């Protein structure tokens, strides 16, 4: 059946286009150009399209009608579509309904008090969510003690491996350098009094009481806390967490508990290792650069070690483990639904963990001072 676009211009200036037959992969460029040129003619005062005898059609016909109506709209001509198939008519409506030049978002300026109010609401909402997460994490740990937690052993062992011996190289390097720097800084002042031999005591007390735990906490926040946030955040983006909730699996038990338990167990051990590497770094400076005999440096280091300082440092590590795990898992679970949100959650997890570690350090220091520890 012939599929030529039949059109004519009536005496009153109406371009009548009759669609008859099949229009499948219609590519008669000459006829199409003639149709568009006729529509552009000054003689044309309107357009009427009839499709009473139209049979099969595809997107090529849709493109032709779209361009035809676009020319008519630009010339402000009246377009009449008669007996057009519903599907073709809906697609034409949809094609012209798309906003091809969306307007920019209008931002309304708000007043100072409204900003303060929004900030307060945000703080209250964040505090409520944080407290709810902590309560849920505590409940998960309670179920673990009762043997009722939904936690796979393989997840716990994987998390334990990740924040255990795999973290030793970076913790060793940084702690060694911190001990070395402490020895250098202490020697500068102690040389003034001819007491550089007490560098050993300075490094030992500083590392065991606070610096070992702080450096380990910062390292693990950037290494493991960020990993927790990125891993769980990616699961949130992929809707894996929604799937767990749908299946009735407690997210706190399945995702948070193994990571938190592993980090809480390994942080005190890593802190003790950091203490040792820091004292080793201080010994390197004292023995090789300050000329302190090895035996004397060892004796002074052993004398400076006290059980109180050691336990305070280990307790810091234990608290830091909880802080890092909570921050990493919290921002991972509350991550958005796109890739950018994963990056934001990771950044917030690291920053929040470091801030809260400093806050907890201050609180513990004040408590130790009041108790005389």
Predicted local confidence at residue 105, as pLDDT = 59
- Domains of the chain in sequence order: 6-97 (3.30.750.24), 125-371 (no CATH)
Residues of the chain scoring pLDDT < 70: 1-4, 98-108
Predicted local confidence at residue 173, as pLDDT = 92
Predicted local confidence at residue 98, as pLDDT = 60
Q: What is the 3-state secondary structure of the chain?
A: CCCCCEEEECCCCEEEEEEEEEECCCCCHHHHHHHHHHHHCCCCCEEEEEEEEEEEECHHHHHHHHHHHHHHHHCCCEEEEECCCHHHHHHHHHHHHCCCCCCCCCCCCCCHHHHHHHHHHHHHHHHHHHHHHHHHHHHHHHHHHCCCCCCCHHHHHHHHHHCCHHHHHHHHHHHHHHHHHHHHHHHHHHHHHCCHHHHHHHHHHHHHHHHHHHHHHHHHHHHHHHHHHHHHHHHHHCCHHHHHHHCCCCHHHHHHHHHHHHHHHHHHHHHHHHHHHHHHHHHHHHHHCCCCCHHHHHHHHHHHCCHHHHHHHHHHHHHHHHHHHHHHHHHHHCCCCCHHHHHHHHHHHHHHHHHHHHHHHHHHHHHHHHHCC
pTM: 0.67
For residue range 327-341, list pLDDT tens digits in order.
999 998 888 888 788
Predicted local confidence at residue 51, as pLDDT = 82
């Amino acid at each position: 059946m012939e599929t030529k676009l039949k059109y004519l211009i009536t005496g009153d200036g109406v371009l009548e286009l009759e669609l008859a037959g099949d229009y499948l992969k219609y590519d008669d460029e000459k006829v199409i150009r003639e149709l568009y040129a006729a529509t552009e003619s000054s003689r044309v005062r309107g357009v009427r399209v009839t499709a009473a005898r139209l049979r099969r059609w595809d997107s090529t016909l849709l493109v032709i009608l779209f361009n035809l109506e676009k020319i008519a709209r630009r010339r402000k001509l009246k377009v009449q579509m008669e007996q057009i198939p519903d599907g073709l008519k809906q697609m034409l409506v949809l094609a012209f309904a798309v906003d091809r030049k969306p307007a920019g978002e209008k931002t309304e300026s708000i007043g100072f008090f409204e900003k303060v109010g929004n900030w307060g609401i945000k703080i209250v909402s964040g505090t409520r969510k944080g407290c709810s997460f902590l309560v849920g994490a505590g409940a998960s740990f309670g179920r673990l003690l009762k043997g009722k937690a939904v936690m796979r052993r393989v997840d716990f062992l994987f998390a334990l491996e990740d924040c255990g011996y795999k973290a030793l190289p970076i913790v060793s390097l940084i702690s060694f350098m911190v001990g070395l720097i402490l020895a250098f800084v202490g020697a500068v002042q102690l040389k003034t009094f001819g007491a550089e031999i007490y560098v050993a005591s300075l490094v030992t007390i500083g590392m065991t009481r606070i610096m070992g735990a702080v450096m380990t906490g910062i390292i693990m926040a950037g290494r493991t806390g960020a990993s927790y946030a990125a891993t769980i955040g990616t699961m949130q983006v992929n809707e894996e967490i929604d799937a767990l909730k749908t299946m009735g699996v407690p997210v706190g038990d399945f995702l948070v508990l193994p990571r938190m338990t592993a980090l809480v167990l390994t942080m005190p051990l890593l802190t003790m290792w950091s203490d040792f590497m820091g004292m080793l770094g201080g010994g390197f400076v004292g023995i090789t650069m300050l000329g302190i005999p090895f035996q004397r440096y060892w004796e002074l280091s052993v004398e400076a070690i006290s059980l109180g300082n050691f336990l305070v440092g280990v307790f810091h590590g234990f608290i830091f483990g909880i802080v890092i795990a909570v921050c990493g898992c919290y921002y991972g679970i509350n991550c958005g639904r796109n890739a950018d949100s994963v990056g934001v959650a990771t950044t917030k997890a690291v920053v929040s963990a470091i801030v809260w570690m400093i806050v907890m350090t201050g609180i513990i220091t004040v408590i130790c001072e009041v108790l005389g520890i």
